[in-house]
Amino acid sequence: MILPKTVHEVLAKLEKNGYEAYVVGGCVRDALMGIEPKDFDVTTDATPREVKSVFCGNPVIETGIMHGTVTVLIDHFPIEVTTFRIDGEYVDLRRPLRVEFTRSINEDLARRDFTINAIAYSEKSGIVDPFEGKQDLADGIIRCVGDPKKRFEEDALRILRAVRFASVLGFAIEPLTQKALLEKKDTIKSVAIERISSEFFSLLCGKNIENVLIEYSELFAVIVPELSLAFEFLQNNPYHAYDVYTHTAKVVANTSPKLDIRLAAFFHDIGKPKTYSQDVKGIGHFYGHQKLSSQMADTILRRMKTDNETREKTILLVLYHDIQIKPERKAVKRVLNRFSEEFFLDLINLKKADVSGQHPDLIGRVLELDTLVRIYEDIIRENECFNLKDLVISGGDLILLGVVPGKQIGVILNDCLSKVISGILSNNKDMLIEYVLSIYINDN
């Protein structure tokens, strides 16, 4: 494991002064998986006071002194250094009431959540892995350190962390850990919604999300209770081979791993059970589910304290996920004019995923959506006009023609743009001026 110069310096200085020191947790896990670590946490048998003494020539911030953590600044780069510790009783499903410092790295690793995060490394001692986390990494297993019930009772957020690792890394959760996770699922309600949202949003973008959504549906119903109506809700429609929730899981998995699109996929049909009706032939319909699903997504995302930009983009995708776009230039340009290039491509991505989660016989509809993308690419390549900024005439041109400044300027420009998008007029200045003169000026 190759350590950054600053991290190496911290370890070396602690060791030079007679202390043990290791990098630990996620950085070791990532390195063993061939992923370049982003953050490095250092653990040591030196107490916070001893760490401050060793680094007396550097700025040291008492980040979490009560729990044994200080931050050492090396060349303005912050390195968190935490003393080996044994956690006391947890009283709020979040933090220990007290901590006890220890001189044993193994005792420190024993308090951690999962075996894959309970691995330490130093250039002097190599890998320290008392709970066989390295083997679990190789086997693709998420396993709690020690008693899984105790681990989840200590910090309920670990329940979501386990599922997040399963989704992002593509790992399976070990049976005893899985059993405890599901038994303790309701304790997640005690966790701050911001922390729940952060984990949920991360796992939603994982590569193993379909399996995770199906296998841990009960957990997701704790986070989003409205979701439970979709479980095993049969659609009774020739377009669909799956119940609403299974369809949703497949759609999420087939979208790009971009948060607003994944959220839109997750919520796009959440209103279906409440809009269900059957015709005389027994075929199921969901009239108005797009609007209701969008409204429900808005409510839920506000409850989850999602940032406004992500929330607004998500609910717009949900609202328009069923919009029909003809494979024609003018139809594509109208969508581009109404929204944006990014929104158009994300919408097509969502629509393709939606088709992939319907009846397998309908997969040919993906080709129709690919046609829309090709039309879009042609429009962009040929610099065709679909918004006012690309229109060759401006408000200034209209004023020179005698149009009085005011609302009428916008009316005329938008009329010209509409005619250009429809193909009635070319985006040619002489032609557009002639049109304006004939319709808005000469007739007056």
Which DSSP string corresponds to 276-300?
-EE-TT--EE-TTHHHHHHHHHHHH
Bridge partner residues of 81 (DSSP):
42, 70
Question: How far apart, in Å, are the Cα atoms of 353 and each of 83, 215, 288, 363?
Answer: 48, 20, 20, 10
The DSSP secondary-structure symbol of 73 reads E
Amino acid occupying residue 157: L
Q: Which of 161, 130, 155 is nearest to 145 (CA)?
A: 130
pLDDT tens for the chain, 444 residues: list them: 889 999 999 999 999 999 999 999 999 999 999 999 988 999 999 999 999 999 998 999 988 877 889 999 998 889 999 999 987 666 655 666 667 899 999 999 999 999 999 999 999 999 999 999 999 999 999 999 999 999 999 999 999 999 999 999 999 999 999 999 999 999 999 999 999 999 999 999 999 999 999 999 999 999 999 999 999 989 888 888 889 999 999 999 999 999 999 999 999 999 999 999 999 999 999 999 999 999 999 999 999 999 999 999 999 999 999 999 999 999 999 999 999 999 999 999 999 999 988 877 777 788 889 999 999 999 999 999 999 999 999 999 999 998 889 999 999 999 999 999 999 999 999 999 999 999 988 655
| Burial bucket for residue 246 (CB in 10 Å: 0-12, 13-18, 19+) | buried
The DSSP secondary-structure symbol of 327 reads S
Note whether 304 and 196 are within 8 A (CB). yes
Rounded Cα gap, residues 374 and 376, in angstroms: 5
Element of type H or E holding 141? strand 141-142
pLDDT of 274: 96
pLDDT of 238: 84
pLDDT of 38: 87
CA atoms within 13 A on the CB side of 53: 9
Q: What is the DSSP string of 157-210?
A: HHHHHHHHHHHHH-PEEPHHHHHHHHHTGGGGGGS-HHHHHHHHHHHHTSTTHH
CB-CB neighbours of 375 under 10 Å: 19
Amino acid occupying residue 217: S
Handedness of CA 120, 121, 125, 130 (dihedral sign): positive
Rounded Cα gap, residues 321 and 349, in angstroms: 10
pLDDT of 241: 83
pLDDT of 88: 61
Rg, C-alpha atoms of the chain? 29
Collapsed DSSP state (helix, strand, coil) of residue 21 = strand
Structure-token pair, residue 240 = 């669909």
Q: Which residues of 70-92 are buried (b: 16+ CB within 10 A; e: fewer)?
A: bebebeeeebbbbbbbebeeeee
Rounded Cα gap, residues 72 and 282, in angstroms: 68
Collapsed DSSP state (helix, strand, coil) of residue 437 = helix
CA end-to-end span of the chain: 79
CB-CB neighbours of 196 under 10 Å: 20
Q: Which of 202, 191, 124, 129 is nearest to 156 (CA)?
A: 191
Place of tokens 């990014």: 342
Structure-token pair, residue 329 = 């230039």
